Chain A
Amino acid sequence: MTAVETRTPAPDAPAEPSGLRRGLPRIIAVVVLVVLAAAPLFLAPFATTTLTRIVVFALFAVSLDLLVGVTGLPSLGHAAYFGAGAYAAGWVSINVTAEAPVPLLVGAATGAVAAALTGWITVRTGGVFFLMLTLAIGETVQQLANTWEDATGGANGLTGVPSVRIGGEPLVNAGLLYWYVLAVGVLGFVLVWLVARSPWGAALRGIRDNEPRMRAVGYPTAVYKYAVFVLAGSVAGVAGSLLAAQQRLVTPADLSFLTSSFALLAVVIGGAGSLWGACLGAAVVVLVRETLGASLDGHGPLVLGLVFVLVVYLLPRGAAGLRRPRREPGRSP
């Protein structure tokens, strides 16, 4: 074969990242993990509970980021799968067993089945239709939770969810519960991260950037989008089961449009597609809504709205955009 040299110099070609720069994210990840794991040892129980809620919401936001940021499917109804997982895990904890990992697996399966039932149609649409369809599904599932009182407790919610048990021992202590939530949350994050980094994840990012081109290379993109929709539903269901374990209560508000939009907000604040950014965004959302919101007479959502506007103006690529300031790559329409 003939060797063909392209002689045109590329503009602003960066040097290969050095060993230190490539190793730094790993060091930061380890430090963050250690701090998170040690947190209950020096935090008050109330703060530990808030941190637990952050981890739950972060896993939910990461599952949404897999759709929005990695694949380019902006769902407005992702809380449907989060809430479905929470209800199923709560129900099984009350009526069957609260022994881990049963509620987790039930939450994952319920999220996956709900996404499988609704996803086949939604992933075949795009743009505004996808937004409207996911919104409609979210509202429908919420109505179902409101009216199906035998299973969900209706508007009062599913009350009296027992503590998760490990080896017969209930996790009543806030710190123990936190460690359980953190372990599951980290596992879920690593799973999504591995998927996003795999060749399969590259195909998803290709779909996000230019779907017709992926099809022209031979990829049945609808199948890929369906699979990631089901996976994201399943991870959201796991996050839901953690919510049930933490709140010991599941209400229709947990699968409302507001919950979906808070997760979307977390993804946008963090920078869509980075996954770790969604975790930071989740922390901001939970802290503003619960800590700051209480001292503002329940105006937390208002503050979040301001945060959202500021982020869109100042950090269009979210917190993840701070990491590597870089010029816009050439668009490929």
Chain B
Amino acid sequence: MTFLEVRGLVSGYDRGRVLHGIDLDLAAGGALGLLGRNGVGKSTLVMTLAGLVPVSEGTVRLDGEDLAGRRPDRIARAGVALVPQGRRVWAPLTVAEHLALASGRRRGTWTVDGVLDLLPRLAERRRHPAGRLSGGEQQMLAIARALLTNPRLVLLDEPSDGLAPAVVDQVAEVITTMRAEGVAVLLVEQDLHLAFAVADEIAVMDKGVLVHRVPTDDFRRDRATAQRLLGVA
């Protein structure tokens, strides 16, 4: 059953189009790892899905409801959360304020206490401004902020960026936990290990379109295709 259904999605910026007709399906509770070289439009795709880049053409259906062209705050309240590249926490606000702000919009399974049980490090840092947390803590905070909006779909844009391998493993654990709660995941990654660890399927983007999509295990075995599409072994 298709939960997220993207058809012919075209978007971009003033200087030109970046997405040239994306078709993408994601089952409820599914997890897709989206790979691709720098500049092929992966971030633009998640930003467009979150409503932060305007849609020129195409539809984005979430559980049958068309979200294309909606305001970002409406899309968020429809159950789509974004963990942006570079984390983008509110530097002057404390951890507690982040959690309170995020949990105020959409009630559901995830509560502040539940998220702090999952991420105890954030509990220790409740009173600290987010700008003074380490990179790993900021990433956990960005994920906590997304979870507290009680999303049905989480878009993660390179959550491993700039993190130590041990911290990337923790990010993988948290993503696995949110999947267990039935949240669908679209993960943009350069780190193949993280993508392989959490995604059922791998898709590859090139020049604004999806060019390849297979189950994760098939992708891992098919080194020739990976080499051709990504330039990696």
Complex contact A215–B92 (CB within 8 A): no
**Interfacial residues of chain A within 1-50, with CB under 8 A of chain B in the complex:** 1-14, 16
A219 to B103, CA, bound (A): 11
Given contact pairs A7-B166, A210-B88, A213-B90, A221 touches B73 in the complex (Cβ within 8 A): yes
Segment of B23-31, B111-119, B184-192 engaged in the interface with chain A: B111-119
Residues of B within 8 Å of A212, CB to CB, are 52, 72
Complex contact A215–B71 (CB within 8 A): yes
Q: How many residues of A contact B (CB 8 A)?
A: 37
Chain B nearest CB, measured from A313 CB (Å): 23
Complex contact B101–A8 (CB within 8 A): no
Chain A nearest CB, measured from B126 CB (Å): 10
Complex contact A205–B90 (CB within 8 A): yes
Residues of B within 8 Å of A5, CB to CB, are 120-121, 170
Most buried by A among B52, B104, B125, B166: B104
With an 8 A cutoff between CB atoms, is B134 at the interface? Answer: yes
Q: A218 is contacted by which of B76, B97, B170 (Cβ under 8 Å)?
A: B76
Chain A residue nearest in CB terms to B178? A1
Chain A residue nearest in CB terms to B163? A8
Chain B residue nearest in CB terms to A4? B170
A214 to B52, CA, bound (A): 11
Chain B residue nearest in CB terms to A219? B73
Residues of B within 8 Å of A199, CB to CB, are 97, 100-101, 104
Complex contact A16–B136 (CB within 8 A): no
Given contact pairs A10-B137, A220-B73, A329 touches B129 in the complex (Cβ within 8 A): yes
Residues of B within 8 Å of A213, CB to CB, are 84, 88, 90
Complex contact B132–A215 (CB within 8 A): no
Given contact pairs A8-B137, A8-B164, A329-B132, A1 touches B114 in the complex (Cβ within 8 A): yes
Chain B nearest CB, measured from A28 CB (Å): 21
Complex contact B167–A8 (CB within 8 A): yes
Q: Mark B22-53, 1 if CB is under 8 A from A, else 0.
A: 00000000000000000000000000001110
Q: Mark A67-85, 1 if CB is under 8 A from B, else 0.
A: 0000000000000000000
With an 8 A cutoff between CB atoms, is A323 at the interface? Answer: no
With an 8 A cutoff between CB atoms, is B93 at the interface? Answer: yes
Complex contact A332–B90 (CB within 8 A): yes
Chain A residue nearest in CB terms to B143? A4
Residues of B within 8 Å of A11, CB to CB, are 132, 134
A192 to B193, CA, bound (A): 50
Chain A nearest CB, measured from B161 CB (Å): 14
A103 to B34, CA, bound (A): 63
Q: B82 is contacted by which of A1, A3, A216 (Cβ under 8 Å)?
A: A216
Given contact pairs A218-B73, A219-B73, A3 touches B120 in the complex (Cβ within 8 A): yes
Q: A13 is contacted by which of B100, B118, B128 (Cβ under 8 Å)?
A: B128
A234 to B145, CA, bound (A): 33
Q: A6 is contacted by which of B91, B101, B137, B177 (Cβ under 8 Å)?
A: B137
Residues of B within 8 Å of A218, CB to CB, are 73, 76-77, 105-106, 149
Residues of A within 8 Å of B88, CB to CB, are 210, 213, 332-333
A-B contact pairs, 16 of them (CB 8 A): A2-B118, A3-B120, A4-B120, A4-B174, A6-B167, A10-B132, A210-B90, A212-B72, A213-B84, A213-B88, A217-B101, A329-B92, A329-B131, A332-B86, A332-B89, A333-B86
Residues of chain A having any CB pair with chain B under 8 Å: 1-14, 16, 199, 202-203, 205-206, 209-210, 212-221, 329-333
The 9 closest A-B pairs by CB, nearest first: A329-B131, A218-B105, A218-B76, A6-B121, A215-B72, A209-B90, A202-B97, A10-B134, A8-B136
